[in-house]
Structure 1
């Protein structure tokens, strides 16, 4: 079969969506299918095929609420004319799904959609978007949810949409079949008797890193030494190119990424050069263009502030302003003269990171972005995986912890409680949810739960053993890919349920 996968980001970008789509796509290729992925063009991607999966890139960013920029029509035309047996789209609220709303009826292939949590369901700015979603979901032949009970599947049930299956996430049997390297701790400067905490997540500001750092600072335990490994990458930026540029040209891609780094000469030099070439008329024209640019920037900033106010209130606006000030001052000596509470408000991540690094000799903080092979070794060498994310759907990292035989402590985010039950590998730390569905754990509570967990070594070992056994039987990507294959080739009516 010829299959088309559509997702906002894909390899070499790192993240949950990317990993799920890559694992499924590559395994379907091994099963004899032809798989193409339509995704965002990235500066760091220099291949059009990876592990047998073809990659077609588009310079697009945004969604229907924020607005979409770039090659939107080119993407629509590609999907509309691409000959395939089935199309799989992952995640709402992003352009590879939102841009296709006008052309879904015209696509004759079997259409399968993974809503992926509806993270904006309770956001006021998305109310109109989700008013339209039920009719859009009915255009698909089948839906896939990762959990029995969460905001997306509950939303579908409320609107009498029943053509769906529940298929959980998983972890790679080839990756986590590796043997533990006994030298991992030594080469990372971690004492052999240290209780090692591991957390994994992109540095987006929504993965609970700040709360976890604060909890680590407050952590008091009977263990002699504790290490926190915080592994995360900075998300990739999309690469937007105009239609006039050669999209396949390496030089073109490099020039586009270099534009933001270009160093402009002083203003008077630029004005003098324009005057010499174009005269006063040219100077006036360039000046008007600059004024227009400044006014346009102010307008965008104003609209963004209004959007933040509607979504998060004045607290959100204040928080954004303080973070921006903190970013501007992060390398300034002025920060050293400000009170601790003010520094924590200006740049909470940097503040608590510095506090964690200043803790006593019985704690060690490791902030890193390990290669995939080395990250697997981190899973295999740690004592407890800790997860404090603010918003999730079905966190892959919890399945990966189970695959490594690593017990996890998670806040009740996404379907983490369900994963703990399925795998038998997890503990849940109490945490509140705000009125928009974001999980907000109290750092002192998290610190207490971490201490309780790492002080009960026998219990952690048993959780890890059970989790690994359950993962091996039910949650490997090989097992899960077979279920995706069955749904994609299925020619049943919309009402049939897996």
Structure 2
């Protein structure tokens, strides 16, 4: 098959969307398919191919709501003139999907769309977008969702759109089927007998670092020494051109909404001149207090990918307290590492805990806009319970590893996508 995958950002950019598309694209190539990725042009990208995947980039930024600028006509012409068997687009509210709307009827290829959560569904500024969206969704041959009960799949059902499949996320077997690094603890200055808590996510203020740190501070470890690893990028980048800067900030707006976007711009601007506010300041204060506790340590880091995989393997418990998610990859990666996880009910984390058998869900409230807010005291109690119950942790870790190997490796998941593509192509040929 000749396959085109469309996503706003791709390697060398780092993020969940980028990782998923790269995993699928490279596995499709290994299966013998001809694969191209259409994405945003980045000056940090030096080649027009990677591991057999061709990269066709465009100088475009924005979306339907904020307005799109750049090589939009070039993208539309590319989509309508190139002959692909399958075109799959990942994520609404970004230009590789929104710019297709005027030309979808001209696309002869099988059309597949991964909505990716509809983060702006409750944002007033997106009201017109979601009013028009059902009409657009009906132009696709198949929708693919990561969860069986979330705002995007429920939106489709409410509008009578039933041509969908549920295909979960996963973790990379090439990364997680290896031995633990015996030197990992030493590399971060962590004692061999410390209990390691790990949490992972960008330092946006919405990924739960503060909540986990607050819970760790008040957790009664019953005399056991412990280290908390707070891993994530600082969300400050040196952009080499204006397009990349716009792409970054519009990506934040697309994911979290205009209100958060405005706060984020102000916070990043202040951070760039050394002023930390809000959760940035709170987490610094919390870390300072933790370091005064005997037997408790905090490591704040942004590990390179191979070291991050080793962190998952070395951790005794992965703790996730994010405020907003769709289908968090980090929970699948924790299961793949054989590490039990404790998560708040964010996105479809409860479903992932059931699927993998690797996790416990800590109760937390959701506000009117769908953000999850956990009480650090409640989270601390659940953390302490798992610290003291080693047998439970071992059962969760073993179940997660087993179920991941059987169902949630990217090799297996990419085969599910291939099966969907081939079925749709057969149906198209039969109808023709």
Alignment correspondent of 1:476: 409
CA separation in 1, counterparts of 2:96 and 2:79?
A: 10
1:370 pairs with one of 288, 299, 303: 303
SS in 2 for 1:471: helix
Alignment correspondent of 1:90: 90
Alignment correspondent of 2:11: 11
Q: In 2, are the aligned partners of 1:327 and 1:347 still within 8 Å (CA)? A: no
Alignment correspondent of 2:187: 187
* Pair 1:145–1:47, CA change in 2 (3 A): same
Alignment correspondent of 1:125: 125
SS in 1 for 2:303: coil
Alignment correspondent of 1:327: 271
CA separation in 1, counterparts of 2:232 and 2:60?
A: 25
Question: How far off is 1:237 after superposition?
Answer: 6.7
* Pair 1:318–1:215, CA change in 2 (3 A): farther
Q: In 2, are the aligned partners of 1:5 and 1:36 still within 8 Å (CA)? A: yes
CA separation in 2, counterparts of 1:383 and 1:447?
A: 15
Matches within 5 A, 1:416-455: 416-455=349-388
Q: In 1, are the aligned partners of 2:92 and 2:116 still within 8 Å (CA)? A: yes
1:353 pairs with one of 277, 284, 298: 284
CA separation in 1, counterparts of 2:53 and 2:265?
A: 43
CA separation in 2, counterparts of 1:223 and 1:123?
A: 46
1:382 pairs with one of 310, 315, 319: 315
2:333 pairs with one of 400, 408, 420: 400
Q: In 2, are the aligned partners of 1:357 and 1:365 still within 8 Å (CA)? A: no
**How many pairs are equivalent?**
416
Q: In 2, are the aligned partners of 1:195 and 1:223 still within 8 Å (CA)? A: no
Q: Does 1:485 align with 2:418?
A: yes
Q: Deviations over 1:53-96 (max 9, x none)?
A: 11111222221112222222222222222221110100001111
CA separation in 2, counterparts of 1:325 and 1:197?
A: 31
CA separation in 2, counterparts of 1:329 and 1:71?
A: 34
Q: Deviations over 1:226-277 (max 9, x none)?
A: 21112212458797xxxxxxxxxxxxxx6x47999xxxxxxxxxxxxxxxxx
Alignment correspondent of 2:251: none
CA separation in 2, counterparts of 1:428 and 1:206?
A: 18
Q: Deviations over 1:412-442 (max 9, x none)?
A: 0111000000110001111111111111112
Q: Deviations over 1:108-162 (max 9, x none)?
A: 0000000011111111111111111111110001111111111111111111111
Name the TM-score, length of structure 2 as normaliser.
Answer: 0.90
CA separation in 1, counterparts of 2:118 and 2:244?
A: 35
Alignment correspondent of 1:114: 114
Superposed structure 1 runs of 4+ greater than 6 Å apart: 236-239, 257-260, 316-322
Q: In 2, are the aligned partners of 1:180 and 1:377 still within 8 Å (CA)? A: yes
Matches within 5 A, 1:37-436: 37-234=37-234, 256=241, 323=267, 327=271, 330-331=274-275, 346-359=277-290, 360-436=293-369
Q: In 1, are the aligned partners of 2:5 and 2:38 still within 8 Å (CA)? A: yes
Question: How far off is 1:4 after superposition?
Answer: 0.4
CA separation in 1, counterparts of 2:236 and 2:58?
A: 14
Report the aligned-residue RMSD.
2.7
Q: Deviations over 1:261-317 (max 9, x none)?
A: xxxxxxxxxxxxxxxxxxxxxxxxxxxxxxxxxxxxxxxxxxxxxx9xx965xxx79
Question: How far off is 1:474 after superposition?
Answer: 0.7
Question: How far off is 1:492 after superposition?
Answer: 5.2
Q: In 2, are the aligned partners of 1:196 and 1:382 still within 8 Å (CA)? A: yes
Most deviating of 17-26 and 65-74: 65-74
Alignment correspondent of 1:24: 24
RCO comparison, higher one (Cα < 8 Å, 6+): 1
Question: How far off is 1:34 after superposition?
Answer: 0.7
Question: How far off is 1:407 after superposition?
Answer: 0.5
Question: How far off is 1:385 after superposition?
Answer: 0.7
Q: In 2, are the aligned partners of 1:42 and 1:238 still within 8 Å (CA)? A: no
CA separation in 1, counterparts of 2:79 and 2:262?
A: 42
Q: Deviations over 1:1-38 (max 9, x none)?
A: 11100001111222111111111110010000010001
* Pair 1:111–1:348, CA change in 2 (3 A): same
Q: In 2, are the aligned partners of 1:405 and 1:468 still within 8 Å (CA)? A: yes
Alignment correspondent of 1:286: none
Question: How far off is 1:353 after superposition?
Answer: 2.5
SS in 2 for 1:104: helix
Q: In 1, are the aligned partners of 2:115 and 2:143 still within 8 Å (CA)? A: yes
Q: In 1, are the aligned partners of 2:205 and 2:279 still within 8 Å (CA)? A: no
CA separation in 2, counterparts of 1:199 and 1:43?
A: 31
Question: How far off is 1:171 after superposition?
Answer: 0.7
* Pair 1:36–1:132, CA change in 2 (3 A): same
Q: In 1, are the aligned partners of 2:167 and 2:413 still within 8 Å (CA)? A: yes
Q: Which runs of 5+ in 2 are unaligned?
A: 246-253
CA separation in 1, counterparts of 2:165 and 2:243?
A: 45
CA separation in 2, counterparts of 1:237 and 1:90?
A: 24
